[in-house]
Amino acid sequence: MTATPRQVVVTGLGATTPLGGDVASTWEGLLAGRSGVRRLTDEWVEQLPVHIAAPVAVEPPLERLEARTLDRVQQLALVAAREAWADAGTPEVDPERLAAVVGSGIGGVLTLLNQYDILRERGPRRVSPHVVPMLMPNGPAATVGLAFTARAGVHAPVSACASGAEAIGYALDMIRAGRADVAITGGSEAAIHPLPLAGFAQMQALSRRNDAPQAASRPFDKGRDGFILGEGAGALVLESAEHAAARGARVYATLAGSGTSADAYHVTAPEPSGAGAARAVRAALRSGGLTAADLVHINAHGTSTPIGDVAEAHALRAALGDALDRVAVTSTKSMTGHLLGAAGAVEAVIAVLTLRDKVVPATRNLDALDDEIDLDVVSIDNRSIPGGAVLSNSFGFGGHDVCLAFTP
Amino acid sequence: MSQSDILEGLAAILEEVAGVDPADVTADKTFIDDLDVDSLSMVEVVVAAEEKFDVKIPDEDVKSLKTVGDAVSYIQRAGVAA
């Protein structure tokens, strides 16, 4: 006989995104169908083939002294984590029962590149002594762990664009296993710089719709030509149901399960049939004791790349069969751009709000659904949905597949 | 450069790097215990002082600079030597 795993609930949400500096403004932007994609004005932009990106709407509101030893990726993580913690009612928790699990795809790449410029131009004596803790990929997790005195464990899953979702799944596992009662978890990314932009552009992964930034991110649309590099952070406070009930916490949703798998097919290309991603979706359902019939909505990974969106559609069909026909799918990356390691966390926040308000934000820029994509994608108008389970998909370079399942 | 000029310059650096109130920066204060400057920030203070006062403060000498007064004297001597 196996013991029933501890139920884990969501009690706090935080975000800073290209649509707004907090959860409320981000959600309002999504429901209004706004785009956070802009033409960059930096002088280095002209030398690149891609001139558009999705920077955060609000610069991180931190004190100068606090900000000066934190990379931007850590600053954004801290902003989202503080909002989530306050939103959860600043829970009283034994530090040894509090975990921080925050992923990032790339870590402090702005610090790495800026300090390399300083090394070359001014020599090693001018390199900041803070450079290592600022560029390490576990930096955002460490920052959040320190800020909230999380001593049950500080972890930083790194799986490219699945990092944020993987972090949330890891936090779920910690609480289920009894290694923590409360976790602050999510993902952060800040990589708008000519090197990552040039690298992604060389991969032919980015949209080149430079003259129409707000129309550039078009998941599932026939005319899609790549993703938009975005930055931001998302955070959730997860809590064992007992802990939340004992302190009378407001509960948004239950994080019913998570599933992970790996393609082991190609370092960047998704397995075309979506078999790997389908296994993650099935695993998430199994982990949550759910079936395909329980689903009402999926917040897709849907990055707007020609290959990825088709593979995801195949994966969902393989995992869910005919039940998929009754599921409203959306890709909020059509509005936020692709926040890489933060994407899974921001989209988990959005999935929880979708579940709370029973409304799915329409996918922007979907003029003509790709013939190969057999999904009920919500477009033009937001759609009301009944109560039920929702999924959030995240996939990352390296063949990482992660799926989170939330229930009311 | 006079001791009071160096003290004033160090106070400005400490405020910039570690948020120390310039009024707290007196010769008898220790960097780490009294002014709460951590070891990484201390490196920044030293490098900024090298730049500001045009002196060299080798890493092996930094350990001997416990108080603000130690640093003022060191910088004054190093400035004369240069």
CA–CA separation, A76 and A98 (whole Å): 21
* Predicted confidence (pLDDT) per residue in A199-251, tens digit: 999 999 999 999 999 999 999 999 999 999 999 999 999 999 999 999 999 99
Residue A279 near residue A287 (C-beta atoms within 8 A): no
pLDDT at residue A370 above 70?
Answer: yes
Beta-strand ranges (E) seen in A119-171 are: 153-155
Give one DSSP letter per residue of A258-292, joined into a string: EEEEE--S-SSSPPTT-HHHHHHHHHHHHHTT--G
Using the Cβ of B18 and the Cβ atoms of chain A, whether some distance falls under 8 Å is answered with yes
Residue in chain B lying closest to A123 (CA) = B47
Q: What is the pLDDT of residues A208-219, one digit of tens each?
A: 999 999 999 999
A396: confidence class by pLDDT, cuts 50, 70, 90: very high
Instruction: Tell me if A383 is assigned to some domain.
Output: yes
Residue type for position A380 = I
- Please check the confidence at residue B56 and state whether its pLDDT lies above 80: yes
Per-residue model confidence (pLDDT) at position A177: 96
Q: pLDDT digits over A53-68, tens only?
A: 999 999 999 999 999 9
Tens digits of residue pLDDT in A136-186: 999 999 999 999 999 999 999 999 999 999 999 999 999 999 999 999 999
Three-state DSSP at A353 gives helix
Check B50 against A125: CB less than 8 A apart: yes
- Report the distance separating Cα A84 and Cα B41, nearest Å: 30
For chain B, the domains span 3-81
Beta-carbon separation of B44 and A129 below 8 A: yes
Q: Which residue of A has its CA nearest to B19?
A: A65
Is residue A252 assigned to a domain? yes
Task: Indicate the DSSP class of residue A86.
Answer: H
Cα separation, A153 vs A360, whole angstroms? 35
**What is the spatial distance between Cα A216 and Cα A52, in angstroms, rounded to a whole number?**
9
Q: How confident is the model at residue A1 (pLDDT cuts 50, 70, 90)?
A: very low
pLDDT for A3: 56
| Residues of A classed as catalytic | 161, 301, 338
> Mean pLDDT across the stretch B34-62?
95
Distance CA A224, CA A365 (A): 9
pLDDT of residue B82: 59
State the smallest CA–CA distance between residue B18 and chain A in angstroms.
7
The backbone torsions φ and ψ at residue A12, rounded to the nearest 5 degrees and listed phi first, read -150, 145
Helical ranges in B1-82 per DSSP H: 3-18, 39-53, 59-62, 68-81
Residues of chain B neighbouring A119 (CB-CB closer than 8 A): none
The residue type at A364: R
Domain count, chain A: 1
Under 8 Å between Cβ of A49 and A208: yes
Q: At residue A178, what are phi and psi to the nearest 5 degrees?
A: 80, 15
A90 in a structural domain: yes
What pLDDT, on the 0 to 100 scale, is given for residue B79?
84
Q: Which residues contact A358 (CB under 8 A, 6 or more apart)?
A: A384, A385, A386, A387
Residues of A with CB under 8 A from a CB of B: 65, 69, 125-126, 128-130, 133
Cα–Cα distance for residue pair A165/A173, rounded to 1 Å:
13
Range of the domain at A219: 8-407
> Could you tell me if B50 lies within 8 Å of chain A, comparing CB atoms?
yes
Q: A362 lies in a domain?
A: yes
Residue from B44, B46, B52 whose CB has the most chain A CBs within 10 Å, to mutate: B44
How many other CB atoms are there within 10 angstroms of residue A3's CB atom?
A: 5
Name the token pair of A78: 């801290």
Residue A361 DSSP one-character state: P
pTM of the model: 0.97
- Pairwise CB contact (< 8 Å): A130 & B40: yes
Nearest residue in chain B measured CA to CA from A131: B40
CATH number, domain with residue A288: 3.40.47.10
Question: Tokens 């959306």 belong to which residue?
Answer: A330
pLDDT of residue A4: 64
A2 in any annotated domain = no
Task: For chain A, give the percent of residues with pLDDT over 70.
Answer: 99
CA neighbor of A335 nearest in space, from A214, A200, A254: A214
Please give the distance of CA A258 from its chain centroid, rounded to a whole number.
14
Is 50 exceeded by the pLDDT of residue A194?
yes
- In 3D, which of A195, A192, A267, A269 has the Cα closest to residue A229? A192
Handedness of CA A43, A47, A51, A54 (dihedral sign): negative
Q: Do A65 and B18 touch (CB under 8 A)?
A: yes
Largest CA distance in chain B: 31
Query: Phi and psi dihedrals of A257, rounded to 5?
Result: -170, 170
- For A101-129, what is the mean pLDDT? 97
Cα A406-A82-A143 angle, rounded to 5 deg = 100
3-state secondary structure (DSSP) of residue A13 = strand
CB-based contacts of A193, cutoff 8 Å, min separation 6: A109, A110, A113
Q: How far is CA A178 from the centre of its chain?
A: 25
Q: A57 — phi, psi (to 5°)?
A: -70, -30
Which two tokens mark B73?
């004297």
Query: Cα B67 vs. chain centroid, distance in angstroms?
Result: 8
How close, in Å, is residue A65 to chain B by CA atoms? 6
Touching check for B80 and chain A: CB below 8 Å? no
pLDDT confidence of residue A386: 97
Would you give the distance in Å from CA B45 to the centre of its chain?
A: 6
Q: What's the gap in Å between the CA of A375 and the closest CA on chain B?
A: 53
Q: Exactly one of B33, B36, B38, B61 is catalytic; which is it?
A: B38
Task: Quote the percentage of chain A above a pLDDT of 90.
Answer: 99
Structure tokens, A50: 């891609």
Instruction: Give me the pLDDT at residue A145, please.
Output: 98
CATH code: domain B3-81 is 1.10.1200.10
Residue A12's beta-bridge partner residues? A237
Q: State the Cα–Cα distance between residues A402 and A170, nearest whole angstrom.
A: 11
